[in-house]
Protein backbone atom coordinates (compact mmCIF):
# COMPACT_ATOMS: atom_id res chain seq x y z
CA UNK A 1 0.00 0.00 0.00
CA UNK A 2 1.50 3.34 -1.05
CA UNK A 3 2.02 6.05 1.54
CA UNK A 4 -0.31 9.04 1.24
CA UNK A 5 1.75 12.24 1.50
CA UNK A 6 -0.33 15.21 2.69
CA UNK A 7 0.30 18.70 4.07
CA UNK A 8 0.31 19.47 7.79
CA UNK A 9 -2.86 21.53 7.31
CA UNK A 10 -4.63 18.62 5.60
CA UNK A 11 -3.54 16.32 8.41
CA UNK A 12 -4.75 18.77 11.05
CA UNK A 13 -8.18 18.95 9.40
CA UNK A 14 -8.66 15.27 10.36
CA UNK A 15 -8.65 16.26 14.03
CA UNK A 16 -12.12 17.37 15.15
CA UNK A 17 -13.42 19.24 18.18
CA UNK A 18 -13.69 16.84 21.12
CA UNK A 19 -11.07 14.41 19.79
CA UNK A 20 -8.24 13.00 21.86
CA UNK A 21 -4.89 12.96 20.12
CA UNK A 22 -2.04 10.65 21.12
CA UNK A 23 1.44 11.99 20.47
CA UNK A 24 4.89 10.54 20.09
CA UNK A 25 7.70 12.12 22.09
CA UNK A 26 8.92 12.46 25.63
CA UNK A 27 10.00 15.96 26.63
CA UNK A 28 10.41 18.10 23.47
CA UNK A 29 12.42 15.19 22.05
CA UNK A 30 10.63 13.28 19.32
CA UNK A 31 7.32 15.11 19.70
CA UNK A 32 5.13 15.74 16.68
CA UNK A 33 5.29 19.45 15.81
CA UNK A 34 3.93 20.47 12.41
CA UNK A 35 0.41 19.06 12.74
CA UNK A 36 -0.24 20.39 16.25
CA UNK A 37 0.81 23.86 15.09
CA UNK A 38 -1.83 23.60 12.32
CA UNK A 39 -4.46 22.32 14.77
CA UNK A 40 -3.95 25.55 16.73
CA UNK A 41 -4.78 27.56 13.60
CA UNK A 42 -8.00 25.59 13.12
CA UNK A 43 -8.93 26.20 16.78
CA UNK A 44 -8.35 29.93 16.41
CA UNK A 45 -10.45 30.08 13.23
CA UNK A 46 -13.29 28.13 14.86
CA UNK A 47 -13.18 30.28 17.99
CA UNK A 48 -13.33 33.42 15.80
CA UNK A 49 -16.52 32.03 14.27
CA UNK A 50 -17.91 31.46 17.76
CA UNK A 51 -17.56 27.67 17.53
CA UNK A 52 -16.05 25.49 20.23
CA UNK A 53 -12.78 23.68 19.40
CA UNK A 54 -10.85 21.87 22.09
CA UNK A 55 -9.04 18.55 22.19
CA UNK A 56 -7.49 16.15 24.68
CA UNK A 57 -3.76 15.45 24.52
CA UNK A 58 -2.16 12.18 25.58
CA UNK A 59 1.62 12.13 25.36
CA UNK A 60 4.78 10.71 26.93
CA UNK A 61 5.95 13.70 28.95
CA UNK A 62 6.44 17.38 28.18
CA UNK A 63 6.37 18.59 24.57
CA UNK A 64 7.77 21.67 22.83
CA UNK A 65 6.23 25.04 22.13
CA UNK A 66 4.71 23.83 18.84
CA UNK A 67 2.41 21.60 20.86
CA UNK A 68 1.73 22.69 24.44
CA UNK A 69 2.67 26.34 23.83
CA UNK A 70 0.82 27.03 20.60
CA UNK A 71 -2.24 24.97 21.57
CA UNK A 72 -2.48 26.61 25.02
CA UNK A 73 -2.30 30.09 23.51
CA UNK A 74 -5.02 29.07 21.03
CA UNK A 75 -7.12 27.83 23.99
CA UNK A 76 -7.37 24.53 22.14
CA UNK A 77 -6.61 22.12 25.02
CA UNK A 78 -9.47 20.73 27.09
CA UNK A 79 -7.51 17.94 28.81
CA UNK A 80 -3.89 16.87 28.96
CA UNK A 81 -1.75 14.23 30.62
CA UNK A 82 1.04 13.86 31.83
CA UNK A 83 4.19 16.04 32.66
CA UNK A 84 4.72 19.39 30.96
CA UNK A 85 7.23 22.23 31.18
CA UNK A 86 5.66 24.87 28.93
CA UNK A 87 5.19 28.32 30.45
CA UNK A 88 1.94 29.16 28.61
CA UNK A 89 0.47 25.75 29.40
CA UNK A 90 1.43 26.29 33.06
CA UNK A 91 -0.30 29.69 33.09
CA UNK A 92 -3.46 28.24 31.57
CA UNK A 93 -3.50 25.34 34.06
CA UNK A 94 -2.95 27.65 37.02
CA UNK A 95 -5.76 29.86 35.67
CA UNK A 96 -8.09 26.89 35.81
CA UNK A 97 -8.51 26.75 32.00
CA UNK A 98 -7.20 23.22 31.31
CA UNK A 99 -7.95 19.89 32.98
CA UNK A 100 -4.42 18.61 33.66
CA UNK A 101 -3.93 15.05 34.89
CA UNK A 102 -0.42 14.81 36.36
CA UNK A 103 0.18 11.06 36.56
CA UNK A 104 3.34 8.96 36.93
CA UNK A 105 4.97 8.62 33.52
CA UNK A 106 5.25 4.83 33.79
CA UNK A 107 1.46 4.67 34.09
CA UNK A 108 0.52 6.86 31.15
CA UNK A 109 0.47 4.21 28.41
CA UNK A 110 -1.30 1.63 30.54
CA UNK A 111 -3.95 4.08 31.76
CA UNK A 112 -4.70 4.97 28.14
CA UNK A 113 -4.93 1.23 27.37
CA UNK A 114 -7.16 0.64 30.38
CA UNK A 115 -9.53 3.29 29.00
CA UNK A 116 -9.19 5.65 31.99
CA UNK A 117 -8.95 8.72 29.75
CA UNK A 118 -11.14 7.95 26.76
CA UNK A 119 -10.44 6.88 23.19
CA UNK A 120 -7.44 7.87 21.10
CA UNK A 121 -8.97 9.24 17.92
CA UNK A 122 -5.80 10.21 16.09
CA UNK A 123 -2.15 9.38 16.80
CA UNK A 124 0.44 11.84 15.50
CA UNK A 125 3.86 10.23 15.41
CA UNK A 126 7.19 11.74 14.50
CA UNK A 127 9.36 9.34 12.51
CA UNK A 128 12.70 9.30 10.77
CA UNK A 129 11.38 6.59 8.45
CA UNK A 130 8.06 4.96 7.61
CA UNK A 131 7.51 2.06 5.21
CA UNK A 132 4.46 1.19 3.10
CA UNK A 133 3.98 -2.01 5.12
CA UNK A 134 3.48 -0.01 8.33
CA UNK A 135 6.88 0.11 10.04
CA UNK A 136 7.34 3.38 11.89
CA UNK A 137 10.88 4.23 13.03
CA UNK A 138 10.76 6.76 15.88
CA UNK A 139 13.12 9.72 16.34
CA UNK A 140 14.54 10.94 19.66
CA UNK A 141 12.04 9.36 22.09
CA UNK A 142 9.92 6.29 22.79
CA UNK A 143 7.16 7.82 24.94
CA UNK A 144 3.73 6.24 24.57
CA UNK A 145 3.97 5.96 20.77
CA UNK A 146 3.51 2.15 20.52
CA UNK A 147 0.33 2.28 22.60
CA UNK A 148 -1.32 5.24 20.90
CA UNK A 149 -0.46 3.79 17.48
CA UNK A 150 -2.21 0.54 18.39
CA UNK A 151 -5.26 2.20 19.94
CA UNK A 152 -5.82 5.12 17.55
CA UNK A 153 -8.43 4.99 14.82
CA UNK A 154 -6.09 6.91 12.50
CA UNK A 155 -2.35 7.54 12.44
CA UNK A 156 -0.61 10.59 11.00
CA UNK A 157 3.17 10.31 10.58
CA UNK A 158 5.38 13.39 10.65
CA UNK A 159 8.38 12.30 8.65
CA UNK A 160 10.95 14.74 9.98
CA UNK A 161 14.20 15.05 8.02
CA UNK A 162 15.73 17.10 10.85
CA UNK A 163 16.24 13.70 12.48
CA UNK A 164 18.79 11.40 10.88
CA UNK A 165 17.82 7.98 9.61
CA UNK A 166 20.85 6.88 11.65
CA UNK A 167 18.32 6.71 14.46
CA UNK A 168 16.95 3.49 12.97
CA UNK A 169 17.92 0.64 15.27
CA UNK A 170 18.29 2.65 18.49
CA UNK A 171 14.73 2.02 19.70
CA UNK A 172 13.58 -1.11 21.49
CA UNK A 173 9.79 -1.11 21.08
CA UNK A 174 7.96 -3.32 23.56
CA UNK A 175 4.46 -3.17 25.02
CA UNK A 176 3.61 -5.41 27.98
CA UNK A 177 0.43 -7.43 28.14
CA UNK A 178 -2.23 -6.11 30.49
CA UNK A 179 -3.46 -7.85 33.64
CA UNK A 180 -4.49 -10.57 34.23
CA UNK A 181 -2.09 -11.81 31.55
CA UNK A 182 0.93 -9.65 32.37
CA UNK A 183 4.28 -11.42 32.77
CA UNK A 184 7.61 -10.03 33.91
CA UNK A 185 9.27 -7.52 31.61
CA UNK A 186 12.44 -9.47 30.75
CA UNK A 187 15.07 -6.78 31.24
CA UNK A 188 17.85 -7.93 33.54
CA UNK A 189 20.51 -5.35 32.70
CA UNK A 190 20.27 -1.84 31.19
CA UNK A 191 21.51 -2.94 27.76
CA UNK A 192 19.00 -5.80 27.29
CA UNK A 193 16.83 -5.51 24.19
CA UNK A 194 13.44 -7.21 24.28
CA UNK A 195 11.45 -5.75 21.38
CA UNK A 196 11.58 -4.44 17.83
CA UNK A 197 13.47 -1.43 16.43
CA UNK A 198 10.21 -0.04 14.98
CA UNK A 199 6.47 0.16 15.69
CA UNK A 200 4.51 -2.20 13.46
CA UNK A 201 1.07 -0.81 12.64
CA UNK A 202 -1.70 -1.76 10.28
CA UNK A 203 -0.69 0.30 7.20
CA UNK A 204 -4.37 1.01 6.49
CA UNK A 205 -4.46 3.15 9.66
CA UNK A 206 -1.76 5.52 8.35
CA UNK A 207 -4.03 8.14 6.80
CA UNK A 208 -1.27 10.56 5.90
CA UNK A 209 2.45 11.22 6.00
CA UNK A 210 3.53 14.82 6.50
CA UNK A 211 7.08 15.63 5.44
CA UNK A 212 8.77 18.18 7.70
CA UNK A 213 12.19 19.50 8.59
CA UNK A 214 11.61 20.75 12.10
CA UNK A 215 14.36 20.40 14.75
CA UNK A 216 13.45 19.33 18.29
CA UNK A 217 12.60 22.20 20.62
CA UNK A 218 14.72 21.16 23.60
CA UNK A 219 15.65 23.96 25.97
CA UNK A 220 19.26 24.80 26.53
CA UNK A 221 20.69 24.22 29.98
CA UNK A 222 21.95 26.87 32.35
CA UNK A 223 25.71 26.53 32.71
CA UNK A 224 26.72 24.71 35.88
CA UNK A 225 27.58 27.27 38.57
CA UNK A 226 29.34 26.99 41.96
CA UNK A 227 26.03 26.13 43.65
CA UNK A 228 25.02 23.31 41.31
CA UNK A 229 28.65 22.13 41.24
CA UNK A 230 28.60 21.91 45.05
CA UNK A 231 25.34 19.93 45.02
CA UNK A 232 26.83 17.63 42.38
CA UNK A 233 30.02 17.17 44.38
CA UNK A 234 27.99 16.36 47.52
CA UNK A 235 26.11 13.68 45.56
CA UNK A 236 29.37 12.23 44.20
CA UNK A 237 31.01 12.24 47.66
CA UNK A 238 27.99 10.55 49.18
CA UNK A 239 27.92 7.80 46.54
CA UNK A 240 31.67 7.25 46.78
CA UNK A 241 31.40 6.91 50.58
CA UNK A 242 28.52 4.42 50.29
CA UNK A 243 30.59 2.39 47.86
CA UNK A 244 33.54 2.42 50.24
CA UNK A 245 31.24 1.16 53.02
CA UNK A 246 30.12 -1.68 50.74
CA UNK A 247 26.50 -0.51 50.56
CA UNK A 248 26.86 0.14 46.85
CA UNK A 249 28.70 -2.73 45.12
CA UNK A 250 32.15 -1.88 43.74
CA UNK A 251 30.79 -2.51 40.22
CA UNK A 252 28.36 0.31 41.02
CA UNK A 253 24.62 0.36 40.23
CA UNK A 254 22.69 1.93 37.35
CA UNK A 255 21.73 5.57 37.84
CA UNK A 256 18.56 7.47 37.07
CA UNK A 257 18.77 11.21 36.97
CA UNK A 258 15.91 13.67 36.60
CA UNK A 259 15.41 16.55 34.24
CA UNK A 260 16.47 20.18 34.53
CA UNK A 261 19.49 22.33 35.26
CA UNK A 262 20.36 20.78 38.60
CA UNK A 263 20.10 17.21 37.35
CA UNK A 264 22.30 18.06 34.37
CA UNK A 265 24.94 19.62 36.64
CA UNK A 266 24.81 16.72 39.14
CA UNK A 267 25.50 14.23 36.37
CA UNK A 268 28.41 16.35 35.17
CA UNK A 269 29.94 16.33 38.66
CA UNK A 270 29.42 12.58 39.04
CA UNK A 271 31.21 11.97 35.78
CA UNK A 272 34.20 14.03 36.86
CA UNK A 273 34.59 12.19 40.17
CA UNK A 274 36.99 9.38 39.33
CA UNK A 275 36.45 7.63 42.68
CA UNK A 276 33.18 6.46 41.12
CA UNK A 277 33.82 3.75 38.51
CA UNK A 278 32.33 4.00 35.01
CA UNK A 279 28.62 3.34 35.43
CA UNK A 280 25.42 2.57 33.48
CA UNK A 281 22.28 4.64 33.31
CA UNK A 282 18.74 3.24 33.38
CA UNK A 283 16.86 6.47 33.23
CA UNK A 284 14.10 8.35 31.47
CA UNK A 285 15.96 11.28 29.92
CA UNK A 286 19.50 11.45 28.68
CA UNK A 287 20.61 15.08 28.91
CA UNK A 288 23.68 16.74 27.38
CA UNK A 289 26.03 15.88 30.24
CA UNK A 290 25.45 12.13 29.79
CA UNK A 291 26.36 12.26 26.09
CA UNK A 292 29.72 13.79 27.09
CA UNK A 293 30.17 11.10 29.74
CA UNK A 294 29.52 8.33 27.21
CA UNK A 295 32.12 9.87 24.92
CA UNK A 296 34.58 9.98 27.84
CA UNK A 297 33.90 6.37 28.79
CA UNK A 298 32.51 7.43 32.19
CA UNK A 299 29.03 6.16 31.27
CA UNK A 300 29.26 2.67 29.81
CA UNK A 301 25.67 2.37 28.59
CA UNK A 302 22.58 4.57 28.54
CA UNK A 303 19.05 3.17 28.53
CA UNK A 304 16.44 5.93 28.40
CA UNK A 305 13.14 7.03 26.96
CA UNK A 306 14.51 10.10 25.21
CA UNK A 307 17.54 12.02 24.09
CA UNK A 308 16.56 15.33 25.67
CA UNK A 309 19.61 17.16 24.45
CA UNK A 310 20.26 20.40 22.61
CA UNK A 311 20.13 20.15 18.81
CA UNK A 312 23.89 20.53 18.35
CA UNK A 313 24.41 17.68 20.82
CA UNK A 314 21.81 15.54 19.01
CA UNK A 315 23.49 16.24 15.68
CA UNK A 316 26.79 15.13 17.23
CA UNK A 317 25.18 11.82 18.23
CA UNK A 318 23.76 11.31 14.73
CA UNK A 319 27.14 12.06 13.18
CA UNK A 320 28.87 9.58 15.52
CA UNK A 321 26.23 6.87 15.44
CA UNK A 322 28.82 4.17 14.77
CA UNK A 323 30.26 5.01 18.18
CA UNK A 324 26.92 5.40 20.01
CA UNK A 325 24.95 2.51 18.47
CA UNK A 326 26.00 -0.12 21.02
CA UNK A 327 25.96 2.34 23.94
CA UNK A 328 22.38 3.64 23.76
CA UNK A 329 18.85 2.28 23.70
CA UNK A 330 15.58 4.23 23.71
CA UNK A 331 12.47 2.60 25.16
CA UNK A 332 8.77 3.41 25.63
CA UNK A 333 8.16 5.28 28.90
CA UNK A 334 6.37 2.39 30.56
CA UNK A 335 9.57 0.35 30.15
CA UNK A 336 12.17 3.08 30.85
CA UNK A 337 10.24 3.98 34.02
CA UNK A 338 8.92 0.57 34.96
CA UNK A 339 8.81 0.18 38.76
CA UNK A 340 9.42 -3.56 38.30
CA UNK A 341 12.71 -2.96 36.49
CA UNK A 342 13.79 -0.11 38.76
CA UNK A 343 13.46 -2.45 41.74
CA UNK A 344 15.12 -5.37 39.94
CA UNK A 345 18.15 -3.46 38.69
CA UNK A 346 18.74 -1.68 42.01
CA UNK A 347 18.70 1.77 40.52
CA UNK A 348 20.07 4.78 42.36
CA UNK A 349 17.59 7.58 41.65
CA UNK A 350 18.52 11.25 41.74
CA UNK A 351 15.67 13.75 41.35
CA UNK A 352 15.14 17.40 42.15
CA UNK A 353 12.79 18.65 44.85
CA UNK A 354 11.01 21.97 45.05
CA UNK A 355 10.82 21.61 48.82
CA UNK A 356 11.50 19.00 51.48
CA UNK A 357 10.08 18.87 54.96
CA UNK A 358 11.69 18.01 58.27
CA UNK A 359 10.56 14.40 58.08
CA UNK A 360 11.64 13.74 54.48
CA UNK A 361 8.41 14.31 52.58
CA UNK A 362 9.09 15.89 49.20
CA UNK A 363 7.15 18.31 47.01
CA UNK A 364 8.29 18.09 43.37
CA UNK A 365 5.36 19.73 41.64
CA UNK A 366 3.60 22.65 43.32
CA UNK A 367 4.70 26.17 44.22
CA UNK A 368 3.28 27.23 47.59
CA UNK A 369 0.93 24.28 47.65
CA UNK A 370 -1.45 25.16 44.83
CA UNK A 371 0.28 26.33 41.64
CA UNK A 372 1.55 23.64 39.28
CA UNK A 373 5.21 23.88 38.28
CA UNK A 374 5.80 21.00 35.81
CA UNK A 375 4.49 17.75 37.20
CA UNK A 376 5.72 14.61 38.93
CA UNK A 377 7.24 13.19 35.74
CA UNK A 378 9.03 9.97 36.43
CA UNK A 379 10.36 10.98 39.82
CA UNK A 380 7.78 8.82 41.63
CA UNK A 381 8.34 5.79 39.41
CA UNK A 382 11.99 5.76 40.41
CA UNK A 383 11.93 7.10 43.98
CA UNK A 384 9.44 4.57 45.32
CA UNK A 385 11.38 1.63 43.88
CA UNK A 386 15.01 2.71 43.98
CA UNK A 387 17.88 0.94 45.75
CA UNK A 388 18.77 4.39 47.10
CA UNK A 389 16.49 7.36 46.38
CA UNK A 390 18.13 10.78 46.46
CA UNK A 391 16.58 14.24 46.23
CA UNK A 392 18.70 17.29 45.54
CA UNK A 393 17.86 21.00 45.56
CA UNK A 394 19.46 24.32 46.49
CA UNK A 395 18.73 25.06 50.17
CA UNK A 396 17.06 28.35 49.23
CA UNK A 397 15.20 29.75 46.21
CA UNK A 398 14.41 33.28 44.98
CA UNK A 399 17.44 35.10 46.41
CA UNK A 400 17.08 33.39 49.76
CA UNK A 401 13.50 34.47 50.41
CA UNK A 402 12.30 30.88 50.22
CA UNK A 403 13.74 27.98 52.19
CA UNK A 404 13.59 24.63 50.42
CA UNK A 405 13.56 23.01 53.86
CA UNK A 406 10.21 23.67 55.52
CA UNK A 407 8.38 22.25 58.54
CA UNK A 408 5.68 20.62 56.39
CA UNK A 409 5.59 20.40 52.59
CA UNK A 410 2.80 22.47 51.05
CA UNK A 411 2.07 19.63 48.60
CA UNK A 412 3.32 16.06 48.76
CA UNK A 413 4.56 13.90 45.89
CA UNK A 414 7.05 11.57 47.60
CA UNK A 415 6.53 10.41 51.13
CA UNK A 416 8.95 9.99 54.02
CA UNK A 417 8.63 6.23 53.43
CA UNK A 418 10.31 6.45 50.02
CA UNK A 419 12.90 9.20 50.40
CA UNK A 420 16.36 8.02 51.52
CA UNK A 421 18.75 10.91 51.04
CA UNK A 422 18.37 14.70 50.83
CA UNK A 423 21.26 16.72 49.41
CA UNK A 424 21.65 20.49 49.15
CA UNK A 425 24.76 22.60 48.63
CA UNK A 426 24.99 22.65 52.45
CA UNK A 427 25.44 18.91 52.79
CA UNK A 428 23.85 15.46 52.93
CA UNK A 429 21.05 14.20 55.19
CA UNK A 430 21.05 10.41 55.26
CA UNK A 431 17.52 9.45 56.35
CA UNK A 432 17.94 5.69 56.00
CA UNK A 433 17.13 3.74 59.13
CA UNK A 434 16.10 6.84 61.06
CA UNK A 435 12.96 7.68 63.02
CA UNK A 436 11.07 10.89 62.10
CA UNK A 437 12.67 12.87 64.94
CA UNK A 438 16.15 11.68 63.95
CA UNK A 439 15.40 12.63 60.34
CA UNK A 440 14.40 16.16 61.35
CA UNK A 441 17.72 16.63 63.18
CA UNK A 442 19.68 15.34 60.16
CA UNK A 443 17.84 17.53 57.67
CA UNK A 444 18.15 20.79 59.63
CA UNK A 445 21.74 20.13 60.61
CA UNK A 446 22.99 19.12 57.16
CA UNK A 447 20.71 20.59 54.52
CA UNK A 448 19.07 23.83 55.73
CA UNK A 449 20.60 27.17 54.80
CA UNK A 450 22.27 28.94 57.77
CA UNK A 451 19.69 31.77 57.45
CA UNK A 452 16.90 29.30 58.23
CA UNK A 453 18.50 26.84 60.65
CA UNK A 454 17.43 28.59 63.86
CA UNK A 455 13.91 29.16 62.54
CA UNK A 456 13.59 25.44 61.85
CA UNK A 457 15.08 24.41 65.24
CA UNK A 458 12.58 26.80 66.86
CA UNK A 459 9.74 25.17 64.95
CA UNK A 460 10.83 21.74 66.19
CA UNK A 461 10.84 23.10 69.74
CA UNK A 462 7.33 24.44 69.21
CA UNK A 463 6.25 21.06 67.83
CA UNK A 464 7.42 19.39 71.05
CA UNK A 465 8.60 15.88 71.59
CA UNK A 466 5.50 13.97 72.53
CA UNK A 467 4.52 12.51 69.19
CA UNK A 468 5.81 10.08 66.58
CA UNK A 469 5.98 12.91 64.03
CA UNK A 470 5.88 16.17 65.98
CA UNK A 471 4.07 19.12 64.46
CA UNK A 472 2.40 22.23 65.78
CA UNK A 473 -0.39 22.09 63.24
CA UNK A 474 -1.49 25.77 63.37
CA UNK A 475 2.08 26.78 62.43
CA UNK A 476 3.07 23.87 60.16
CA UNK A 477 2.61 25.97 57.00
CA UNK A 478 3.65 29.17 58.78
CA UNK A 479 6.70 29.75 56.56
CA UNK A 480 4.49 29.52 53.46
CA UNK A 481 1.94 31.85 55.04
CA UNK A 482 4.73 34.33 55.79
CA UNK A 483 5.95 34.11 52.17
CA UNK A 484 2.46 34.98 50.98
CA UNK A 485 2.26 37.86 53.48
CA UNK A 486 5.67 39.56 53.36
CA UNK A 487 7.42 37.83 50.46
CA UNK A 488 10.19 36.44 52.68
CA UNK A 489 10.04 33.26 54.76
CA UNK A 490 12.78 34.64 57.02
CA UNK A 491 10.21 36.96 58.63
CA UNK A 492 8.32 34.00 60.10
CA UNK A 493 7.60 34.57 63.77
CA UNK A 494 6.47 31.43 65.60
CA UNK A 495 5.40 33.50 68.61
CA UNK A 496 2.41 34.71 66.57
CA UNK A 497 1.06 31.17 66.67
CA UNK A 498 1.16 30.80 70.43
CA UNK A 499 -0.46 34.09 71.42
Minimum separation from the CB atom of position 102 to ligand 0RQ (A): 10
Select the span of 17-25, 64-72, 135-143, 395-403 touching ligand 0RQ (CB under 6 A): 395-403
Regarding 285 and contact with ligand 0RQ (CB under 6 A), the answer is yes
Residue 361 interacts with ligand 0RQ (CB under 6 A)?
no
Nearest to 475 by CA among 452, 454, 453, 494: 494
Other Cβ atoms within 10 Å of 195 Cβ, number: 17
Cβ nearer to ligand 0RQ, comparing 38 with 217? 217
- Give the whole-angstrom CA distance, residue 112 versus residue 108: 6
> Side by side, which strands form the sheet with 405-406?
362-363, 355-357, 405-406
> Rounded to the nearest whole angstrom, what is the least distance from the CB of residue 223 to ligand 0RQ in the complex?
12
Q: How far apart are CA 450 and CA 443, in angstroms?
A: 12
User: Which residue of the chain is nearest ligand 0RQ when measured via CB?
Assistant: 377
Task: Provide the phi-psi class of 373: left if phi over 0, else alpha when psi is between -120 and 50, else beta.
Answer: alpha
Considering beta carbons, is residue 53 or 89 the nearer one to ligand 0RQ? 89
Residues 71-110 that bind ligand 0RQ (CB under 6 A): 83, 105
Q: Does 378 bind ligand 0RQ (CB under 6 A)?
A: yes
421/119 Cα distance (integer angstroms): 41
Task: For residue 224, give Cα distances in angstroms to 160, 298, 300.
Answer: 32, 19, 23
Residue whose CB is less far from ligand 0RQ, 154 or 411: 411
- Per CB under 6 A, the list member of 59, 63, 364, 418 interacting with ligand 0RQ is 364
Closer to ligand 0RQ by Cβ: residue 43 or 330: 330
**126, 217, 284, 416: which is the annotated catalytic residue?**
284
- Examine the residue annotation and report whether 46 is marked as an active-site residue of this protein: no
Q: Cα–Cα distance between 7 and 91 in angstroms, integer?
A: 31
Is 354 known as a binding-site position? yes
378 is in an annotated binding site: yes
Between CA 455 and CA 136 the distance in angstroms is: 57
From the list 131, 164, 166, 261, which residue makes contact with ligand 0RQ (rule: CB under 6 A)? 261
Q: What's the CA gap between 251 and 237, in Å, rounded?
A: 17
Cα–Cα distances in Å, from 65 out to 68, 87, 93, 346? 6, 9, 15, 36
Nearest by Cα to 65 from 73, 56, 57, 54: 73
Check binding of 470 to ligand 0RQ (CB under 6 A). no
* Interaction of residue 402 with ligand 0RQ, rule CB under 6 A: yes
276 scored as a contact of ligand 0RQ (CB under 6 A): no
- Please report whether residue 139 would count as binding ligand 0RQ according to CB under 6 A: no
| Residue 398 within binding range of ligand 0RQ, rule CB under 6 A | yes
Which candidate, 10, 65, 1, 7, places its Cα nearest to that of 42? Answer: 10
Out of 147, 351, 426, 446, the residue judged to bind ligand 0RQ by CB under 6 A: 351
Edge-to-edge order in the sheet of strand 348-352: 328-330, 299-304, 279-282, 255-257, 348-352, 388-392, 421-423, 428-430
| 134 vs 143 by CB, closer to ligand 0RQ | 143
Q: Among residues 36, 121, 379, 395, which is the contact residue for ligand 0RQ, using CB under 6 A?
A: 379
Instruction: Decide if residue 352 touches ligand 0RQ (CB under 6 A).
Output: yes
Distance CA 69, CA 75 (A): 10
- Closest C-alpha to 160, from 66, 93, 276: 66
Nearest distance from residue 54's CB to ligand 0RQ, in Å?
25
Distance CA 486, CA 498 (A): 20
Q: Helix crossing, 311-319 with 288-295: angle to 10°?
A: 30
Tell whether 473 is in a known binding site. no
The reply, when asked if residue 374 is annotated as ligand binding, is yes
Of 321, 373, 434, 437, the one binding ligand 0RQ (CB under 6 A) is 373
Nearer of residues 414 and 439 to ligand 0RQ, judged by Cβ: 414
Residues that bind ligand 0RQ (CB under 6 A): 27, 61, 83, 105, 258-263, 284-285, 351-352, 354-355, 364, 367, 373-374, 376-379, 394, 397-398, 402, 404
Catalytic positions are: 284
Positions at the binding site for CoA:
354, 374, 378, 398
Amino acid sequence: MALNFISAAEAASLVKHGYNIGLSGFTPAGTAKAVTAEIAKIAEAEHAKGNPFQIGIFTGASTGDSCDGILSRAKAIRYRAPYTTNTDFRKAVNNGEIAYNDIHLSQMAQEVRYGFMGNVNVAIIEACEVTPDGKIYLTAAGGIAPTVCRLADKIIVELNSAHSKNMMGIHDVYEPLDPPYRREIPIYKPSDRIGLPYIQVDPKKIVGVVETNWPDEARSFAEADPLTDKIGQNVADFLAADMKRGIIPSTFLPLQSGVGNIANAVLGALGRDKTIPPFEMYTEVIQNSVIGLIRDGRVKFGSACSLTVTNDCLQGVYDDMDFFRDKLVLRPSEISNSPEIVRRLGIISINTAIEVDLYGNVNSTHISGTKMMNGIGGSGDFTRNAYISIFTCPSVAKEGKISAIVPMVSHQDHSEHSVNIVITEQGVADLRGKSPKERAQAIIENCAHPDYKQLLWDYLKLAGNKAQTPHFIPAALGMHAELAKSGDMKNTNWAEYTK
